[in-house]
Amino acid sequence: MMKRTSMVVAPFVLAFILAAGGCSPIATLSYKQLGACDDFSPDTLQAGPNKAFVFFRMDSLDNSGNGTPATLNPFDLSVPSLVTSTGEGKIDQMWTTEWASALQGPPAGTVTVPPNTVQPLIGWGVMLVSTSTSDGAVEANTTSYFLVGGAGSGILPTKEDPTRTSWPYTRDCPSINFAQ
């Protein structure tokens, strides 16, 4: 229960720190957590025991109130409390590319948004996370993950459904509802 509370509070603390420090984000990234899963099929793209893939859709980068370009590198996005030396807890370029190819979806990539504009759909990002359950999708689908931008990026990730705390159980990744 402590883990969920800290993840819910983290984006608000970040916003407060930015506001109190007199600096503001260059742009706002709007994203949605789509769900979590363990694998695609036996021996193909498996998370492994006590792990899960968490899928995010990055819907827009709003740079409408700024006079300078904003650059988003989605692979700088993470859940800081989950980051490991092996790359877990961060949007991962390899997993994002592999899953986008397997599921024929739009992979997230680096994007630069001109001043005073909004860039729609940036694509999917995939993160590997550790769980306490051997079937990682069980725990990951009942955990709300809040992304944080890379240090100095000037990007403020904003979750579209921040109060949502559960997603349908999907062990098999193609079963995630990507259209939501």
- The pTM for the full model equals 0.84
Whether 67 is covered by a domain: the verdict is: yes
Residue 178: inside a domain: no
As a whole number, the mean pLDDT across the chain is: 85
- Classify residue 108: in a domain, yes or no: yes
Structural domain of residue 119, as residue ranges? 2-161
Question: Pseudo-torsion of CA 180, 154, 93, 99, nearest 10°?
Answer: 0
Predicted confidence (pLDDT) per residue in 111-151, tens digit: 999 999 999 988 999 999 999 999 999 999 999 999 998 77
Query: Residue 94 domain-assigned?
Result: yes
pLDDT band, very low/low/confident/very high, at 25 (cuts 50, 70, 90) = low
Q: Count of domains in the chain?
A: 1
Residue 172 belongs to a domain: no
> Is residue 150 helix, strand or coil?
coil
Contact, 10 vs 147, CB < 8 A?
no
pLDDT digits (tens, 9 = 90+) for 143-178: 999 999 877 788 999 999 999 999 999 988 888 998
Q: How far apart are the first and last CA of the chain?
A: 26
